[in-house]
A and B are shown apart, each in its own frame.
Chain A
Amino acid sequence: MIVSVGWYMTLAAGLFSLGAVGVLLRRNALVMFMSIELMLNSVNLTFVAAGGELGLIEGQVAALFVMVVAAAEVTVGLAIIVAVFRRRGTANVDQLSELEG
C-alpha cells in the first residue's frame, strides 16, 4: 500500500488535536507553549504534504516561513515566561490569574 497524501493529513490532524489538548489541559506555561509548537509542526507537515501532492514548491516555502516565525515567537514567548516567573514566582497559569470574577 502506498502512503498517500491522506495519511499525512490525518496524522497531521491528529498531532494538531493532541497539541490542542495540551494547550487546554496543561497548566504549566512551558508545556502549553510546547503544545503550541506541536500544533505549528503539524501545520508544517500539512503544508509540505499538500505541496508535494500539488507539485508546488510553495508548500515547502510556506513551511520555511512558518518555521522562521515560530522561532521568533519562541524567543519572545520564552523571554516573557521568564520575566513573569521572575516577578510572580510561578509558571502555573492558573496561579497567575489575578481576576476574581
Chain B
Amino acid sequence: MRLRGMAGCVAMSAALLWTPMALAHHSNSAFYVTKIITIQGVVKEFRWSNPHVWVILTVDDGKGNKVDWKAEGRPPGILARAGWTPKSLQPGETVTIDLSPAKDDTASGLIARVTKADGTILANAPAPTE
C-alpha cells in the first residue's frame, strides 16, 4: 500500500513536469473533438502562450486523489477576439471546463469553453463571421 502510494507520488511528479509530448503542438486530430466531458477544479496555472494556451486544472477525482488536467485552448489571437485576456484566469480560482478528451487517454483535452464561478463563459472562438 505504501509502495503503491509512493508509485502514485512518482507518477504525479512525472505528470507535473512539462513533458515534450504533453505540450507539443499538434492538430485537432489528437482529440475526440465531438466528445465533450466536463471537469471542475482549481486553476493551478494559466499559460497564455502560442500556439496554444494551457489551463492546468487540479481536479479531485472523487477517490481522494488530485489530478492535474492539462486543458489546451486555441491560440491567444483567437481567444483575445473571443473575449479572453492574459488575466482571464487566476491561479486558485475554481472553474468548470468543457473539453474534448485526448486520444492518448492522458488527463488532457481540447477546451470547448471555460465557465468561471460567477457564470462568465469564455468561449473557444469568437462569434462566427457572417
Q: Do A and B bind each other?
A: no
